[in-house]
Amino acid sequence: MSETTKIGLFTYDIKNGLGLIGYNVDEHEFAHIVVDVTKCDDCSHMMCVWGCPAQCYNFRDQGLEKMKFQYEDCVECGTCYIMCDQGAVSWNHPRGGFGITYSHG
């Protein structure tokens, strides 16, 4: 199913866009981003949700009471690490051989 996001004057199909890139997802114990979701409970701005281009963060905007983070669709842009001012995001590059590969562009 297609899922579009309006960015200014443009509408972007995120999931189809992500189909242009490849992933080699590491096992869960080697997740390259770990979020301490207990720190999210009192977060007033949820900048990670608004800033993540791959919609890895889902929270109150989706009607959820607890932050739900999935690293599998991450495009390794680093935005969430910069935007979180609560120290909730632990960010590393994926281990060698894992993570994203760009097919186009």
Which residues make Cβ contacts (< 8 Å) with residue 35, sequence separation at least 6? 57, 67, 69, 88, 89, 90
Binding-site ranges for ligand SF4 (CB under 6 A): 33, 35, 39-40, 43, 46-48, 51-54, 56, 59, 67, 74-80, 83-84, 86, 88-89
Cβ–Cβ < 8 Å for 70, 55: no
Minimum CB–partner distance for residue 17 and ligand SF4 (Å): 12
Smaller CB separation from ligand SF4, 4 or 64: 64
In the complex with ligand SF4, the residue whose CB is nearer, 10 or 39, is: 39
Least distance (Å) between residue 100 CB and ligand SF4: 9
Least distance to ligand SF4 from the beta carbon of 10, Å? 19
Whole-angstrom Cα distance, residue 2 to residue 64?
22
CA–CA gap between residue 85 and residue 9 (Å, rounded): 29
